[in-house]
Structure 1
Amino acid sequence: MSAKITKKDLRAAVVNFSGNVGKSTIAKHLLMPRLGVNIIAIESINENEGGDPLALDQFKELQSHLLDAESAIVDIGASNIEGFFHQLVNYKRSHNDFDLFVVPVTSELKQQKDTIATVESLSTLGVPAKKIRIVFNKVDSTEDISRTFAPILAYAEDKKKCVADPAATVYQSDIFEDIKGLDMSIPDLLEHTEDELRAKVRAAEDPTEKQRLKDVLIATRIAESAHDNLESVFKVITK
């Protein structure tokens, strides 16, 4: 069941003035498998999200890394986003070190307003619209994107300062919680076939291991649809 993953060279920043929009999820599950690099996490609060931590006062080191790197993922936590933008202002043209600014947004009105403020700040720095990509995140599959995210879509259409394509939608999925307990990635799960896992479940004698294998098998079933969704979104935001 090995899943095909689109690979690209890209230096991406995941940003939003708002918290709770799933920046770390986007960095870890959308970008990391497709760029093949560890996440550089500029964050002092969500230390359990993983990644290589970097403090804002190491902005020179970040620039040096980006100037050499073919691919990079920089996840800027909400607690440090204003400081990050302050550094971008101080170091003129440092935004050019990024090929893409990925801005996740959820359906709440506050998060949409904060997203617009994020785009405005990036635009003021001189980041062109084609490099600012909105990702509609944590979306229920029954939602009407055009209605739920009307403020963002109207803003993008009117101001032309970002790209907001409804096709760049990451749908809600249990897989993001399931894999935390399994300590596996979505690509890891899809390396296993159902027949293989069924055989291992039957052969397992330890009850704990048997249950873990059952959980892995069940997770592979939803991982496949989540993978297809993430692949589609990645292609949309990088085209």
Structure 2
Amino acid sequence: MRVAVVNFSGNVGKSTLARHLLAPRFNTELIAVETINADEGGENIRASQFDELQGHLLTNDVAVIDVGASNIEAFIHAMNQYRKSHEDFDYFVIPVVSEVKQQKDTIATIEALMTLGIPPKKIRVVFNKVEATADVLEEFGPIFGYAEAEKKCVVRPDATVYVNDVFEKSKGLGKTVSEILIDPTDYRAKLKESKDEDERESCVQMILAKRLAESAGENLDAVFKVLFK
């Protein structure tokens, strides 16, 4: 499975979903087509190095490519120059948040992908940063309306990632949600034994992160399952 995470809009959580939802479940390293956000980890590659990226895709069966908003136009232009290069991807995942601008940018992204000849079944939308009490169909009405009218992408209400503080905590811990979940350390026992204040605080943060990670992990598992069915 080779997946590109794209959107013309920034602040929709592309890197977060690539890092926490996709890369761990495909058991692969994240490749970032980006000149900023270097702190997200993974291998960084500029859009101008598209031929190098194609080489990676042609010789690997599994890949997750995070295309930054500052590079997506160059990325799409490169795919247009290298005809049929979009066939190297099995899916294009487009995260979207509820703000009107981001929803408009998401529709523009889908239209741009369609001009390359990408089949609608390869374009999958993920609803991101959604409050647990929100009505997804109502909150993302423009996206569902567009999808129903144009038939240019796949949208499923269950492909919804809910707001969870673990994503922010994971940055400070330097771990993915999956890594937090599989950490075998008994932090409660370690907390009781430790006399060092910094270590105690670190234990507290890991205990909280592991609790949050359980609900986030269940959510991400469900989204991953519905996203590619």
The residue identity in structure 2 corresponding to 1:33 is P
1:139 aligns with 130
Partner SS for 2:105? helix
2:113 aligns with 122
Q: CA RMSD in A?
A: 1.2
Among 136, 150, 164, the alignment partner of 1:159 is: 150
Q: What TM-score, normalized by structure 1, do the two folds share? A: 0.93
1:207 aligns with 197
Contact 2:137 2:157 in 1 (8 A): yes
Among 71, 92, 99, the alignment partner of 1:108 is: 99
* Equivalent pairs, count: 229
Deviation at 1:205, TM superposition (A): 1.8
Partner SS for 1:137? strand
Contact 2:20 2:178 in 1 (8 A): no
The residue identity in structure 2 corresponding to 1:80 is N
Given the alignment of the two structures, is residue 186 of structure 1 paired with residue 171 of structure 2, yes or no? no
- Unaligned 5+ segments in structure 2 are none
Contact 2:19 2:176 in 1 (8 A): no
Q: What TM-score, normalized by structure 2, do the two folds share? A: 0.97
**Identity, % of aligned positions:** 54
Alignment of 1:20-169 (within 5 A): 20-169=11-160
Partners of 2:207 and 2:83 in 1: how far apart? Answer: 50
Cα displacement string for residues 115-162 of structure 1 (whole angstroms, at most 9, x for unaligned residues): 001111111111111110000001111111111100000111111110
Cα displacement string for residues 87-111 of structure 1 (whole angstroms, at most 9, x for unaligned residues): 0100110000000100000001110
Deviation at 1:188, TM superposition (A): 2.1
